[in-house]
């Protein structure tokens, strides 16, 4: 069956099969959009297709972890679940990056980090492009599992 999509900026789209698809407000859809809830924040399509030029090796993950811990944990939390000490008081709440990062392209994540929105600051004038890609690598491959209580030093609690 052919799937027909209607693009109406800033509104929800419904396919011919009745499946609700989210419009990012940028007037585009891509394969990630179909997996996201209505109104979910998505980067413009050219950004979503941007490949990560930084290999996700140990060095990149270490750099990304350091930047994430210093700049992102206050809102997104150590494990990326949006439960940082400042994040719990924000409305809307910070994204659960642990759940969302695997569903987004590297380019989408990099664009969101660079551009920000609402209480999420734009980091493009703070971080270099390579630093943003290191954070993307960390979000996709390095966030700790919440199996145990994690302290601010990223160590298991006694």
> What is the pLDDT tens value at each position of the chain, 158 positions in all?
444 333 333 333 333 333 333 333 333 333 444 456 666 788 999 999 999 999 999 999 999 999 999 999 999 999 999 999 999 899 889 999 999 999 999 999 999 999 999 999 999 999 999 999 999 999 999 999 876 554 544 443 43
154, part of any domain: no
Q: 80 with 132, same domain?
A: yes
Is there a single domain that holds both residue 31 and residue 70?
Answer: no
Number of domains in the chain: 2
pTM (2 d.p.): 0.70
Q: How far apart are CA 99 and CA 81, in angstroms?
A: 8
Closest to 77 in 3D by CA, of 103, 58, 98: 98
Query: The domain containing residue 35 runs over which residues?
Result: 1-41
Q: Is 150 in contact with 78 (CB distance < 8 Å)?
A: yes
| 62 inside domain | yes
């Amino acid at each position: 069956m052919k799937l027909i999509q209607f693009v109406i900026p800033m509104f929800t789209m419904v396919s011919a099969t009745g499946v609700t698809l989210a419009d990012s407000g940028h007037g585009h859809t891509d394969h990630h959009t179909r997996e996201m809830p209505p109104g979910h924040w998505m980067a413009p399509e050219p950004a979503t297709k941007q490949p990560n030029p930084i290999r996700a090796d140990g060095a990149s993950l270490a750099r990304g972890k350091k930047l994430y811990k210093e700049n992102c944990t206050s809102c997104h939390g150590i494990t990326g679940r949006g439960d940082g000490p400042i994040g719990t008081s924000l409305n809307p709440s910070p994204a659960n990056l642990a759940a969302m990062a695997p569903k987004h392209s590297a380019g989408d994540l990099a664009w969101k980090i660079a551009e920000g929105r609402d209480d999420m600051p734009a980091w493009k004038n703070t971080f270099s492009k390579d630093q943003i890609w290191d954070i993307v690598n960390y979000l996709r491959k390095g966030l700790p599992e919440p199996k145990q209580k994690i302290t601010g030093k990223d160590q298991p609690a006694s």
